[in-house]
């Protein structure tokens, strides 16, 4: 999400319009789109509900699932309303964030078995998984370096 923010470079509303006052006069240095808050609600919490209460549950409790999704929907609307009224985001930031969250959720659900297999190999099989651990380490370092390069280019 951070790399997408740095690639889009979408400004926050209070950066562009001086009549919008941010809460507490605090300006965080990150771009608005895609929104991390929307991603957390649309991907992370939906994924948690799907995995723990539907897919890997012994017995599916439909009233509980409906209640959890309802609470999640209200939380989603309240957080969007609060961020919009606070001058943090535009509505199109929410739409872009929802699209990326849904794409990421679909990819994660489609490759669930492979992700679980690799996580078990990396976490529990010590000797033969060293190669995967180094791949993961160098991939993480590479993402960090790309993020630093993009961040440094945006300091101008």
Q: What is the pLDDT of residues 10-25, one digit of tens each?
A: 777 666 666 666 665 5
Residues 117, 74: Cα–Cα separation, whole Å:
35
All residues at 6 or more sequence positions from 69 whose CB lies less than 8 Å from its CB, including other chains = 49
Residues 15, 67: Cα–Cα separation, whole Å:
38
How many CB atoms within 10 Å of residue 99? 12
Unique residue bearing structure tokens 């509505």: 91
pLDDT in tens, 45-60: 999 999 888 887 888 8
Q: What is the pLDDT of residue 155?
A: 57
pTM (predicted TM-score): 0.68
How many CB atoms within 10 Å of residue 145? 10
First to last CA, the chain: 21
DSSP string across 104-122: HHHHHHHTHHHHHHHHHHH
Residues 1, 42: Cα–Cα separation, whole Å:
13
Kindly state the greatest CA–CA separation across the chain. Answer: 60
pLDDT in tens, 56-95: 788 889 999 999 999 999 999 998 888 887 777 778 888 8
Per DSSP, 53 falls in state: I
Q: At what angle do helices 112-124 and 91-110 cross, to 10 degrees?
A: 70
């Amino acid at each position: 999400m951070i790399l997408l923010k740095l690639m889009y470079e979408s400004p926050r509303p209070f950066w562009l319009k001086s009549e919008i006052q941010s809460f507490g006069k605090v300006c965080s240095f990150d771009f608005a789109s895609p929104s991390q808050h929307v991603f957390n609600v649309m991907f992370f919490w939906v994924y948690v509900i799907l995995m723990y209460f539907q897919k890997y549950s012994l017995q599916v409790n439909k009233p509980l699932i409906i209640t959890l999704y309802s609470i999640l929907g209200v939380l989603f609307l309240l957080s969007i309303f609060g961020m919009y009224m606070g001058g943090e985001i535009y509505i199109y930031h929410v739409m872009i964030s929802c699209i990326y969250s849904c794409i990421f959720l679909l990819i994660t659900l489609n490759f669930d078995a492979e992700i679980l297999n690799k996580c078990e190999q990396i976490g529990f099989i010590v000797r033969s998984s060293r190669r995967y651990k180094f791949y993961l380490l160098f991939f993480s370092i590479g993402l960090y370096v790309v993020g630093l390069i993009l961040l440094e280019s945006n300091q101008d």
